[in-house]
């Protein structure tokens, strides 16, 4: 007996409704509604090999509507990926099951990115499509020629980031990007017409996209739309008219199926309506076999690709790039030696540019960019070339004023592999990127955020542009390296650490204003690697340890000079990265910040949190209000961040005022 299309799609529906029912939580509506589209996609269009999920030239599939996670878990299981097993699916949403509530890239091969925060999946897919074209320009059709397929819901298209992502994709003419819109006209609160009357098709057309409609329950119609999408050189929006929860006789078409189990009675009714006679989690062998054949469909294509790779003179470089390995022996010690020989009194944003001038020619995988602040972020070095529809090989992206879209695209590029993305904006706008920075960290991706104008030190642009709470709030995020380097040498060291951190994103908080170079002598290795280190040892008997970050390291050094000339011994500790310091041994930390000595922190940002190192009896100098618009000297004086103001306060705390 041959298996009919409906059986294949119904296997997805059954697994989805049964897993959600067993977990007593989850979202059955979306996978049941998109089961037919997914069956056509995984069965006939998507290029992948279930036995080799990391094949570099596979199509990327992004389930942007991540709440519908059972759709991708069903597809991966049925097509023969090693995981999830049926046991994993039975344990949907349970502790240690790779079938988490929302798909997580580090749990399952085949889950290309972590989704759930609506809109970001599609925006990451734009980055994947950019990386694909970029690598194609370098390595050619033989090695890189694949598509990025997205399933997006009404919510993904409604989010603000969608505007940025669609605009960027249209501008770059990313024709290998195909978005399957689950056009079910339902969200959680009810029908979409409760909250939107936007002409989504017209918006995409106006943004340079190709738009095609299909009946999302008719395989013939779906195929025709996918064929049209593939044929069109523009990115495509495939509007799939679907019924949410299709198969649930009493609930389909309503938001009742969106995010709750159908209930056992309705699950039974759905079984009857679908003609699915099998027990929960039981998929008959003939249906399994048909799905398994889908998973092997591109095995020959994969084998032919592997042959082309092994015959290619670019094989070693391509393999290195896709593995995310830096070239053998890569480091910035030579650049640092140059700075020691010829010290630079520059802003750390400029020091970052100097570092990039040393990095970019040696690391062809870097793809830089800025959200329209190139001249301020100092992110563009000579010879990168601009990435455009005419030149995908360019290594610099003019993201436009799309901070969130930039950050998400960088996540997508890093996830795709083969490139190391870095991008700039003002630190104060890290808030605009924050939800994507969070996904960089959660997804363990090496994305480097070059965030300049890191304090009141930017001066006259005033409090809207002056970060105050940003550095501290970024430090709170797990698996994120937040660096605030204090001079040109530290900036180079932080860049080196950022590049070496292959599973961790980095924020570099950099100054607008010039800073003296306090690192003048050769040191044993990368000092910033330990997060904090002693930059000056007390001359007189040590009575205080001054801790500074970024521009306030030089301030701490001036305060130390003033204290020493009054006979008060002061160490100075530079602390460019809290999390790296926290990872050091207790003896290292206690040696730097001894319990029995007054500790004083200085940072042009909130003092909230500094008691962690200054201790209950320490002093913290910072800014616990918004900034102000004025020239830089007036601001540092107004906020009390000068040696003249801090020195007497330290002396008073020592009882030597
Ligand atoms: C940024 C963000 N906001 C809110 C949510 C919560 N949420 C999850 S699904 C959803 C509704 C999405 O509607 P749609 O994309 O049409 O999905 P459907 O109901 O059709 O499955 C909402 C508001 C979220 N996951 N992400
Ligand atoms: Mg919807």
Tens digit of each residue's pLDDT (9 = 90 or more) over 138-178: 999 999 999 999 999 999 999 999 999 999 999 999 999 99
Instruction: Kindly tell me if the per-residue pLDDT of 657 is higher than 90.
Output: no
**Residue with CA at minimum distance from ligand 1 atom 23:** 188
Ligand nearest to the backbone CA of 116? 1
Pick the atom of ligand 1 nearest to 184's CA.
20
Q: What is the mean pLDDT of residues 208-228?
A: 99
Task: Give, for ligand 1, the residue of 179, 187, 240 to mutate: max count of ligand atoms closer than 8 Å to Cβ.
Answer: 187
Count the neighbouring beta carbons within 10 Å of the beta carbon of residue 483. Answer: 30
Strand 177-183 versus strand 236-241 pairing type: parallel
Compute the distance from residue 373 Cα to the ligand 2 centre, in Å.
36
Phi/psi of residue 115, nearest 5 degrees: -130, 165
Pick the atom of ligand 1 nearest to 30's CA.
21
Compute the distance from residue 243 Cα to the ligand 2 centre, in Å.
9
Tokens 């896709």 correspond to: 322
Phi/psi of residue 503, nearest 5 degrees: -125, 25
Query: Helix, strand, or coil here: 603?
Result: coil
**pLDDT the model gives residue 535:** 98
Compute the distance from residue 158 Cα to the ligand 1 centre, in Å.
10
Q: How far apart are CA 622 and CA 2, in angstroms?
A: 73
Ligand nearest to the backbone CA of 64? 1
Helix (H) or strand (E) holding 646: helix 643-653
Q: How far apart are CA 21 and CA 2, in angstroms?
A: 29
Task: Give, for ligand 1, the residue of 17, 34, 64, 155 to mutate: max count of ligand atoms closer than 8 Å to Cβ.
Answer: 155
Pick the atom of ligand 1 nearest to 68's CA.
21
Q: What is the mean pLDDT of residues 597-625?
A: 98
**pLDDT the model gives residue 533:** 98
Q: Which of 41, 146, 64 is nearest to 111 (CA)?
A: 64
Q: Would you say the pTM of this structure is higher than 0.85? A: yes
Compute the distance from residue 119 Cα to the ligand 2 centre, in Å.
13
- Average pLDDT over the chain reads 98
Task: Give, for ligand 1, the residue of 188, 241, 246, 252 to mutate: max count of ligand atoms closer than 8 Å to Cβ.
Answer: 188
Task: Give, for ligand 1, the residue of 118, 184, 258 to mutate: max count of ligand atoms closer than 8 Å to Cβ.
Answer: 118
**pLDDT the model gives residue 471:** 98
Q: What is the mean pLDDT of residues 7-13?
A: 98
**pLDDT the model gives residue 627:** 98
Q: What is the mean pLDDT of residues 309-322?
A: 98
Compute the distance from residue 95 Cα to the ligand 2 centre, in Å.
28
Compute the distance from residue 190 Cα to the ligand 2 centre, in Å.
9
278, 14 contact by CB (below 8 A): yes
CB-hemisphere CA count at 13 Å for 299? 10
Q: Which tokens belong to 53?
A: 């999920």
Residue 29: band (very low, low, confident or very high) from pLDDT cuts 50, 70, 90 = very high
Ligand nearest to the backbone CA of 102? 1
Compute the distance from residue 185 Cα to the ligand 2 centre, in Å.
5
Instruction: Kindly tell me if the per-residue pLDDT of 636 is higher than 60.
Output: yes
Residues at CB less than 6 angstroms from ligand 1:
29-30, 65, 67-68, 116-118, 153-156, 159, 182, 184, 186-188, 244, 258
**Which residues are catalytically annotated?**
403
CA 168 to chain centre: 17
Q: How far apart are CA 394 and CA 374, in angstroms?
A: 15
Ligand nearest to the backbone CA of 65? 1
Q: What is the mean pLDDT of residues 467-492?
A: 98
Instruction: Kindly tell me if the per-residue pLDDT of 1 is higher than 70.
Output: no
Q: Which tokens belong to 528?
A: 């910033």
Peptide linkage before 459 cis (omega within 30 of 0): no
Residues 355-368 pLDDT 10s? 999 999 999 999 99
Instruction: Kindly tell me if the per-residue pLDDT of 46 is higher than 60.
Output: yes
**pLDDT the model gives residue 2:** 83
Pick the atom of ligand 1 nearest to 255's CA.
19
Please state whether 286 falls in left (phi above 0), alpha (psi between -120 and 50) or beta. Answer: alpha
State the burial class of residue 273 (Cβ atoms within 10 Å of its Cβ: 0-12, 13-18, 19+). Answer: middle
Query: Helix, strand, or coil here: 657?
Result: coil
State the burial class of residue 339 (Cβ atoms within 10 Å of its Cβ: 0-12, 13-18, 19+). Answer: buried
Helix (H) or strand (E) holding 316: helix 315-323
Q: How far apart are CA 141 and CA 136, in angstroms?
A: 6
**Residue with CA at minimum distance from ligand 1 atom 18:** 187
**Residue with CA at minimum distance from ligand 1 atom 8:** 67
CB-hemisphere CA count at 13 Å for 217? 13
Which strands make up the sheet holding 60-63, listed edge to edge?
A: 60-63, 148-152, 177-183, 236-241, 210-215
Q: Which tokens belong to 79?
A: 């097509």
- What is the DSSP secondary-structure string of 110-169? T--S---STTHHHHHHHHHHHHHHHHHHHH-TTT----EEEEE-HHHHHSHHHHHHHHHH
Pick the atom of ligand 1 nearest to 159's CA.
1
CA 616 to chain centre: 36
Instruction: Kindly tell me if the per-residue pLDDT of 189 is higher than 70.
Output: yes
Cα-Cα-Cα-Cα dihedral of 426, 432, 438, 439, to 10°?
-110
Count the neighbouring beta carbons within 10 Å of the beta carbon of residue 337. Answer: 12
**Residue with CA at minimum distance from ligand 1 atom 19:** 187
Q: Residues 6 or more apart from 502 whose CB is under 8 A from it?
A: 324, 325, 446
Q: How far apart are CA 433 and CA 418, in angstroms?
A: 23
Pick the atom of ligand 1 nearest to 117's CA.
26
Instruction: Kindly tell me if the per-residue pLDDT of 593 is higher than 80.
Output: yes
Residues 71-111 pLDDT 10s? 999 999 999 999 999 999 999 999 999 999 999 999 999 99
**pLDDT the model gives residue 538:** 98
Q: Which tokens belong to 543?
A: 């009575």
């Amino acid at each position: 007996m041959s298996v009919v299309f409906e059986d294949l799609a119904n296997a997805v529906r059954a697994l989805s409704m049964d897993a959600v029912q067993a977990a007593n939580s989850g979202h059955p509506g979306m996978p049941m509604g998109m089961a037919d589209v997914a069956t056509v996609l995984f069965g006939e269009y998507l290029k992948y090999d279930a036995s080799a999920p990391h094949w570099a030239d596979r199509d990327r599939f992004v389930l942007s509507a991540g709440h519908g996670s059972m759709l991708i878990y069903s597809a991966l299981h049925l097509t023969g990926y090693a995981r999830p097993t049926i046991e994993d699916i039975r344990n949907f949403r349970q502790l240690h099951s790779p079938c988490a509530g929302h798909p997580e890239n580090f749990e399952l091969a085949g889950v290309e990115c972590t989704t759930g925060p609506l809109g970001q999946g599609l925006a990451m897919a734009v980055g994947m499509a950019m990386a694909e074209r970029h690598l194609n320009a370098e390595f050619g059709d033989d090695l890189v020629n694949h598509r990025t397929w997205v399933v997006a819901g009404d919510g993904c298209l409604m989010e603000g980031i969608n505007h940025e992502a669609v605009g960027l994709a249209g501008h770059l003419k990313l024709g290998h990007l195909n978005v399957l819109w689950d056009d079910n006209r339902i969200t959680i609160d009810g029908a979409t017409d409760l909250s939107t009357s936007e002409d989504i098709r017209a918006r995409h057309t106006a943004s340079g996209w190709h738009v095609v409609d299909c009946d999302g329950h008719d395989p013939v119609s779906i195929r025709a739309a996918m064929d049209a999408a593939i044929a069109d050189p523009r990115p495509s929006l495939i509007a799939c008219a679907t019924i949410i929860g299709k198969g649930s006789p009493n609930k389909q078409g309503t938001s009742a199926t969106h995010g709750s189990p159908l209930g056992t009675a309705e699950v039974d009714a759905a079984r009857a309506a679908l003609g699915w006679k099998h027990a929960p989690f039981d998929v008959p062998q003939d249906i399994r076999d048909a799905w398994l054949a889908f998973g092997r469909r591109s095995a020959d294509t994969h084998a032919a690709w592997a042959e082309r790779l092994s015959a290619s003179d670019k094989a070693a470089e391509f393999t290195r790039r896709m593995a995310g390995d830096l070239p053998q022996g890569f480091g910035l010690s030579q650049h640092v030696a140059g700075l020691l020989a010829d010290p630079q009194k520059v802003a750390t944003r400029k020091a970052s540019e100097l570092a990039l001038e040393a990095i970019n020619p040696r690391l062809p995988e870097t793809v830089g960019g800025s959200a329209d602040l190139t001249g301020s972020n100092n992110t563009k070095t000579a010879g990168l070339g601009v990435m455009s529809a005419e030149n995908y090989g360019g290594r610099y992206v003019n993201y436009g004023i799309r901070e969130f879209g930039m950050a998400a695209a960088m996540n997508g590029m890093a996830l795709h592999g083969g490139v190391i993305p870095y991008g700039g904006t003002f630190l104060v706008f890290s808030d605009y990127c924050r939800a994507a920075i969070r996904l960089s960290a959660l997804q363990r991706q090496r994305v480097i955020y070059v965030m300049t104008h890191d304090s009141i030190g930017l001066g006259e642009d005033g409090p809207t542009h002056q970060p105050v709470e940003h550095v501290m709030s970024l430090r709170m995020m797990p698996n994120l390296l937040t660096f605030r380097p204090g001079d040109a040498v530290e900036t180079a060291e932080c860049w080196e650490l950022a590049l070496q951190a292959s599973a961790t994103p980095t924020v570099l908080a950099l100054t607008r204003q010039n800073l003296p170079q306090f690192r003048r002598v050769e040191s044993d290795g990368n000092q910033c690697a330990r997060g904090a280190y002693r930059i000056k040892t007390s001359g007189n008997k040590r009575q205080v340890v001054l801790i500074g970050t970024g521009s306030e390291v030089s301030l701490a050094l001036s305060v130390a000079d003033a204290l020493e000339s009054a006979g008060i011994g002061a160490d100075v500790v530079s602390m460019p990265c809290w999390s790296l310091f926290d990872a050091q041994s207790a003896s290292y930390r206690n040696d730097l910040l001894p319990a029995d000595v007054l500790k004083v922190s200085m940072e042009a940002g909130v003092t909230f949190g500094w008691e962690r190192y200054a201790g209950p009896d320490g002093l913290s100098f910072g800014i616990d209000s918004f900034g102000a618009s004025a020239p830089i000297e007036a601001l540092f004086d107004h906020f009390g961040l000068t040696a003249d103001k801090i020195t007497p306060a330290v002396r008073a705390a020592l009882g030597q005022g």
